[in-house]
Amino acid sequence: MNQEKTFYDNLVECLKHQQKKSSRTVVDSEVLKVFFSTSTKLKNTKAAPHITKATSSPSSTVTEHRITPINPPEFGHKQTPESCPIEELSLDELRIMAVNCRRCGLCDNRNNVVFGEGDPHAKLMFIGEGPGADEDAQGRPFVGAAGQLLTRMISAMQYRREEVYITNIVKCRPPGNRTPVPSEANSCMPYLRRQIELINPKVIVLLGGTPLLHILNLTGITRRRGQWGEYNKIPVMPTFHPSYVLRFQNTVNERNIKSLVWSDLKTVMQFLGKPVA
């Protein structure tokens, strides 16, 4: 590499290269914009103070040229989402924090952070376990086979998918779609708690045993499903995860499992004032 290039030139080129090279490298555009402009100014300014001394006279003066500090980039009314208490972040700011999160080891193998999607003022919120392979590839929750079933469930409840909000306990895919371990779930829970606080739904539907454990601190989805719980004064309905329902496809128990889930969803519909046939 040309040795005449400054440290900042090399660092900027590295950032640009990494962003083109990997979808896992995420640098906020506003941060890059200010960083690039900052590095250009620094390139045209001497990095060390220039001191001129006159040796011919004892009354010689010393002149220093100093670099004027540049303020860090602002993020809304704040500097960066990471520098602010999570309870002060908006949903968009929270998303950016999650996209850059490295709180647990799940970040090492992810392709995308799956933050959540839907109406930010939804009356109905669904919380699942974690992203699978399809979700990790697309960066969207519930887009695989289980997601297609969930979309049909939402439609049967007389909602469109974009009218509800869908997210998971963890935002990065656990290897092999395994259940998140407690340390991984605990690392992600601040994001989920803030999501719930901001969306403030009228009802939360928990999909499976993992959200049952981390939202209601209960175990045993088979005996707990269909029974109302409460999270921060929000009614919560646990039911089976769509992937669990799919396991019984083409078996003698398929109709029974689907009937149980539909019973739970009808209870939610009645609470929300939807007509139930």
The CB-side HSE value for 147 (13 A sphere, CA atoms) comes to 20
What local confidence, expressed as pLDDT, does residue 15 receive? 53
User: Could you tell me which residues are beta bridge partners of residue 118?
Assistant: 165
What local confidence, expressed as pLDDT, does residue 22 receive? 45
Q: 166 — alpha (psi -120 to 50), left (phi > 0) or beta?
A: beta
Each residue's pLDDT expressed in tens, for the chain with a length of 277 residues:
444 445 445 555 555 554 544 444 455 555 445 444 544 444 444 444 443 343 444 444 444 444 444 444 444 444 455 567 898 999 999 999 999 999 999 999 999 999 999 999 999 999 999 999 999 999 999 999 999 999 999 999 999 999 999 999 999 999 999 999 999 999 999 999 999 999 999 999 999 999 999 999 999 999 999 999 999 999 999 999 999 999 999 999 999 999 999 999 999 999 999 999 7
Quote the DSSP letter at residue 207. Answer: E
What residues does each domain of the chain span? 1-73, 81-271
State which H helix or E strand residue 204 sits in.
Answer: strand 203-207
Structure tokens at 15: 């950032």
**Neighbour-count burial for 107-131, b at 16+ CB within 10 Å, e otherwise:** eeebbbbbbbbbbeebbbbbbbbbb
What local confidence, expressed as pLDDT, does residue 85 receive? 87
Residue 30 near residue 75, CB atoms below 8 Å: yes
Q: Is 90 exposed, middle or buried (0-12, 13-18, 19+ CB in 10 A)?
A: middle
What local confidence, expressed as pLDDT, does residue 11 receive? 52
Q: Is the pTM of this model over 0.85?
A: no
* Domain 81-271, CATH: 3.40.470.10
